[in-house]
Chains A and B, each alone.
Chain A
Amino acid sequence: MHNINRKIQPTRHIPDKIKIIKANSCILPNGIQLFSVNAGTEDICRIDLDFHAGSRYQNKLLESRATMAMLSEGTQNLTSHQIAEKFDFYGSFYEHSSDRDFGKVSIFSLNKYLDQSLEILEQIIKTPTFPEKEMETFRIKGKQSLLVELEKVTTLARQEFFKGLFGATHPYGVSASPNDFMNLFRADLSDFHQKHLNSSQCTIVLAGKIGKHELNLIEKYFGKKGWGNATLDNIEFPQIAISEERKFYTPKEDALQSAIRIGRHVVNRKHPDYCGLIILNTILGGYFGSRLMKNIREDKGYTYGISSSILSLKELCIFVIGTEVGAEHTLPALKEIYHEIDRLRNELVSEEELDLVRNYLLGELLRTFDGPFAIADSITSLYEYNDLDYSFFDKTIEVIKTITPNQIMNLANTYLRNNDLIECVAGPISNQN
């Protein structure tokens, strides 16, 4: 019989290094970089094709999003229906996405049908035709759903926030309006496709139970010769127009809640302060037990949820606090948010709270390697943002383990000065100051 004391928690350990399966990296004959993660126990894999084809590169609003969405709606040899039928037959799942920096397509495939899945994917990527009938459906659906989105205070506050951070015409700051959908034509998409979805703009990530055979298939369809029109336009990142105005308000009379966004630009992931900022952010609003949650949800009951986060973009990061509060609580909630920021600047965080946050963050970090696709995502985030390598994770752990309450207070005084923060509120006017 074991003699155990159930009142006492077993000894806790903090790992020094994360033991993880690393990705292999190679350059295919046509110059594409291929990352591969061989992990997991099932005969399945995921392929991501990642293009420098985000909205920052577009000439017209929505070009990037429309191009990515329309790739699978018809190719030289296959109709939209035939593509759906073939993917279904092989049990493959196809996904696409577009953000400010990247346009991406992914296939989830059984290894035994990888050849067939890639054959379809090749056509989608290399010979899409953007047929007019499907374009029209895209326009109408897109416009409808944006109209619905714009009814939400969250959307209004978010759009205003990015506009405030970058300026109304900057590619990171601009937002589409419903009618922009009607202004998109086949030629726009073809043009965008030609410029940005070619082998010179592409990185491939393959994850799952993979070996030589799977790698060869990737090379067969995407790695031999250069494909697409490899124009090497070096598009410069336009200067950010920082506005004098710090507070923005968007009226929405009938809303029950106000949406709040408060934040600023911060350094990118290569900067020595980045890891410390992650810890500062976690204490403030980065987990369920954070100060903002405790104060504004648990104690005051102004909201169902409030959080802060650090969003990575290619050129920089954005720190943002976000919440939706009952409209009548708008002003008190703002007051409490600034109060919590003040506390970070003026009081040292207790060792007890810091210990909890250190361990929470280490667990979170480990969970980003939980399974083959999670590992692949962590690789993607490293190379997408600032070409970091694995030592980034070791450095992060080091900072999590050793940062002091003083250093955290210093970071708060550098990065969380009220005058540097932009505040956006969308909601009923009666609750504005």
Chain B
Amino acid sequence: MIEVEKFCLENGLRVVVHNDMSTPVVSFNLLYDVGSKDEDPNKTGFAHLFEHLMFGGSVNIPVFDTPLERTGGENNAFTNNDFTNYYITIPKENLETAFWLESDRMLSLAFSKKSLDVQRNVVVEEFNQRYLNQPYGDVWLLLRPLAYRVHPYQWPTIGKEPDHIRNATLADVKEFFFKHYAPNNAILSIAGPVTTKEIIELSSKWFGGIESRPIIKRKLPKEPTQTESRSLEVERDVPFDSIYKVYHMCNRKNDDFQATDLISDILSNGKSSRLYQKLVRESNLFSDINAYITGDIEDGLFVITGRIYKNVSFKTAESAINEELELIKSNSIKEYELEKVKNKFESNFKFGEANPLDKAMNLAFYELQGDAKDVNLEIEGYRKVTSDKVKEVATKIFRKENCSTLYYKAKNK
């Protein structure tokens, strides 16, 4: 159970506080409700590029890292399709420095031309290194547009292509900042040896004076229901053939969500899971196989990926996967196996909350979805899933016409 206290400043900044006395360090997490789904389809990769620019100095503080290092602090950030997250861990005694640094870059950036020039190159290099010059690196650049025809999940956080990043201008940067970076579009969460009282004081002092900004409510295009199966075959210089199958599934608020997640665990969480036991250990078709959900805020994807052994054809491999999916649809899952994946979920979830920084990140994420306190209801929600529900949801998802398949072929086979 995570004890949570919340308050909201007049300018709309939501603040979540969790007291944990077992650490001398405070985790300070600031989430902005802007992700790559908010990008213009012709200027993709911008939310992530922008994250880099947030380290290029703010209106009153020329350098972000050094003052933080001088207080023994550490920081990093990440961007995904749904949101952008900045975090700092800092000795309790110096917590105010985190407020000083983060509030100044919420107030305004330095908008330096130099920083934009440098970071554009860095991000283009990141694009090359992680997505283009890496075995299997372009998989999601191929899969996303196959599965999504109109929804902005059709491009990955890095963007559709390096040119979108190369073309970013300082005017774009300024516009993006004032459109999305605002106290009324952010959630601050703090975990560590702190009291709510001192966090109210520090938040009001440093963030209170930042005025709220007009935030346009997002209207995302709805992805039309997929009505026929899609596939794509590519050939690349990689060691093994691989197969990727993705099915449309619900969003996190939907009643089917927990059952869907558990189905992915039945298939592939742990050495005793079905796909591992049958397709890796017993029949030796795959050297590695995985099933998971993207777990996005909007309607997401159920993903199955497998690395196929050299002498096995795509056809054999794919029908073996399909057989396992049919089994979940036709045979009710036994109580024992359902209990196993629920226990496994509970354990994963709780160990995911063992560290104060993980707790701070989780709280911000749950607050974004509605209420930070819901973090404590999650396990119960999974416990309620019945074997009938598993069968019903599996039948809904694992349909041919709901599936997109990528055949990723190794050259010179």
**Bound Cα distance from A370 to B61, whole angstroms:** 28
Find chain A residues with CB under 8 A from B59 CB.
6
Q: Does B171 contact A (CB under 8 A)?
A: no
Flag if B351 contacts A356 (CB, 8 Å).
no
Find chain A residues with CB under 8 A from B94 CB.
10, 12-13
Q: Does A40 contact B (CB under 8 A)?
A: yes
CB A151 to nearest CB in B, in angstroms, measures 14
Q: Does A372 contact B (CB under 8 A)?
A: yes
Closest to B208 in A: A2
Closest to A42 in B: B350
Q: Does B314 contact A (CB under 8 A)?
A: no
Q: Does B170 contact A (CB under 8 A)?
A: no
CB A415 to nearest CB in B, in angstroms, measures 25
Flag if A110 contacts B72 (CB, 8 Å).
no
Q: Does A369 contact B (CB under 8 A)?
A: yes
What is the size category of the interface that chain A forms with chain B? 35 or more
User: For chain B residues 1-50, which have a beta carbon within 8 Å of chain A?
Assistant: 1-3, 20, 22-25
Flag if A367 contacts B104 (CB, 8 Å).
no
**Bound Cα distance from A87 to B270, whole angstroms:** 9
B324-368 contact mask (Cβ, 8 Å, vs A): 1 or 0 = 000000000000100110011111101101111101000000000
**Bound Cα distance from A92 to B340, whole angstroms:** 11
Find chain A residues with CB under 8 A from B112 CB.
none
Flag if B347 contacts A359 (CB, 8 Å).
no
User: For chain A residues 348-388, which have a beta carbon within 8 Å of chain B?
Assistant: 355-356, 359-364, 366-367, 369-375
Flag if B347 contacts A363 (CB, 8 Å).
no
Find chain B residues with CB under 8 A from A93 CB.
347, 351
Q: When the two chains form the complex, which single residue of A9, A91, A355, A371 contacts B346, counting CB atoms closer than 8 Å?
A: A91
Flag if B70 contacts A359 (CB, 8 Å).
yes
Flag if B89 contacts A10 (CB, 8 Å).
no
Closest to A89 in B: B340
Flag if B66 contacts A356 (CB, 8 Å).
yes
Flag if B354 contacts A372 (CB, 8 Å).
yes
Flag if A370 contacts B89 (CB, 8 Å).
yes
**Bound Cα distance from A21 to B25, whole angstroms:** 13
Q: When the two chains form the complex, which single residue of B1, B90, B270, B356 contacts A363, counting CB atoms closer than 8 Å?
A: B90
**Bound Cα distance from A43 to B350, whole angstroms:** 8
**Bound Cα distance from A113 to B346, whole angstroms:** 12
**Bound Cα distance from A109 to B343, whole angstroms:** 10
Closest to A109 in B: B347
Flag if B100 contacts A370 (CB, 8 Å).
no
B49-70 contact mask (Cβ, 8 Å, vs A): 1 or 0 = 0000000000111000011011
Flag if B343 contacts A4 (CB, 8 Å).
no
**Bound Cα distance from A361 to B69, whole angstroms:** 9
A89-130 contact mask (Cβ, 8 Å, vs B): 1 or 0 = 111110000000000000011100100000000000000000
**Bound Cα distance from A10 to B346, whole angstroms:** 41
Find chain A residues with CB under 8 A from B99 CB.
10
Closest to B104 in A: A6
Find chain B residues with CB under 8 A from A168 CB.
none
**Bound Cα distance from A360 to B71, whole angstroms:** 7
CB B71 to nearest CB in A, in angstroms, measures 5
Q: When the two chains form the complex, which single residue of A4, A366, A374, A375 contacts B206, counting CB atoms closer than 8 Å?
A: A4
Q: When the two chains form the complex, which single residue of B205, B347, B356 contacts A371, counting CB atoms closer than 8 Å?
A: B356
**Bound Cα distance from A4 to B270, whole angstroms:** 53
Closest to A367 in B: B25
Q: Does B74 contact A (CB under 8 A)?
A: yes
**Bound Cα distance from A89 to B209, whole angstroms:** 52
Flag if A4 contacts B209 (CB, 8 Å).
yes
Flag if A91 contacts B208 (CB, 8 Å).
no
CB A140 to nearest CB in B, in angstroms, measures 14
Q: When the two chains form the complex, which single residue of A1, A4, A85, A375 contacts B22, counting CB atoms closer than 8 Å?
A: A375
Find chain B residues with CB under 8 A from A19 CB.
24
Flag if A2 contacts B205 (CB, 8 Å).
yes
Say whether, besides A364-B72, A371-B356, A372-B354, A81 and B272 are in contact (CB < 8 Å): yes
Flag if B20 contacts A363 (CB, 8 Å).
no
Pick the most buried of A19, A40, A356: most chain B CB atoms within 10 A of its CB.
A40
Q: Does A15 contact B (CB under 8 A)?
A: yes
Find chain A residues with CB under 8 A from B159 CB.
none
CB B53 to nearest CB in A, in angstroms, measures 19
Flag if B347 contacts A110 (CB, 8 Å).
yes
Q: Does A241 contact B (CB under 8 A)?
A: no
Find chain B residues with CB under 8 A from A369 CB.
23-25
Q: When the two chains form the complex, which single residue of B67, B91, B355 contacts A15, counting CB atoms closer than 8 Å?
A: B91
User: For chain A residues 1-50, which have a beta carbon within 8 Å of chain B?
Assistant: 1-2, 4, 6-7, 9-15, 18-21, 39-44
B73-97 contact mask (Cβ, 8 Å, vs A): 1 or 0 = 1100000000000000111011011
Q: When the two chains form the complex, which single residue of B343, B351, B359 contacts A89, counting CB atoms closer than 8 Å?
A: B343
Find chain A residues with CB under 8 A from B69 CB.
289, 356, 359-360, 363
CB A41 to nearest CB in B, in angstroms, measures 6
Q: Does A88 contact B (CB under 8 A)?
A: yes
**Bound Cα distance from A356 to B65, whole angstroms:** 11
Find chain A residues with CB under 8 A from B345 CB.
91
User: For chain B residues 176-224, which have a beta carbon within 8 Å of chain A?
Assistant: 204-206, 208-209
Flag if B3 contacts A41 (CB, 8 Å).
yes
Say whether, besides A6-B60, A356-B69, A370-B355, A88 and B344 are in contact (CB < 8 Å): yes
Flag if A110 contacts B354 (CB, 8 Å).
no
Find chain B residues with CB under 8 A from A11 CB.
96
Flag if B71 contacts A359 (CB, 8 Å).
yes
Q: Does B107 contact A (CB under 8 A)?
A: yes
Flag if A366 contacts B272 (CB, 8 Å).
no
Q: When the two chains form the complex, which single residue of A208, A355, A372, A375 contacts B70, counting CB atoms closer than 8 Å?
A: A355
Q: Does B290 contact A (CB under 8 A)?
A: no
Pick the most buried of B22, B208, B270: most chain A CB atoms within 10 A of its CB.
B22
User: For chain A residues 222-279, which have a beta carbon within 8 Å of chain B?
Assistant: none
CB B119 to nearest CB in A, in angstroms, measures 16
Find chain B residues with CB under 8 A from A113 CB.
343
CB A153 to nearest CB in B, in angstroms, measures 20
Q: Does B271 contact A (CB under 8 A)?
A: yes
Extra pairs beyond A9-B97, A84-B270, A109-B347 (10, CB < 8 Å): A10-B97, A12-B97, A15-B93, A44-B350, A85-B272, A88-B273, A89-B339, A361-B72, A362-B72, A363-B25
Which residues on B are within 8 Å of A, measured CB to CB? Answer: 1-3, 20, 22-25, 59-61, 66-67, 69-74, 89-91, 93-94, 96-97, 99-100, 103-104, 107, 204-206, 208-209, 269-273, 277, 336, 339-340, 343-348, 350-351, 353-357, 359
- A selection of 5 A-B contacts at a CB cut-off of 8 Å is A6-B100, A10-B99, A42-B351, A364-B72, A374-B355
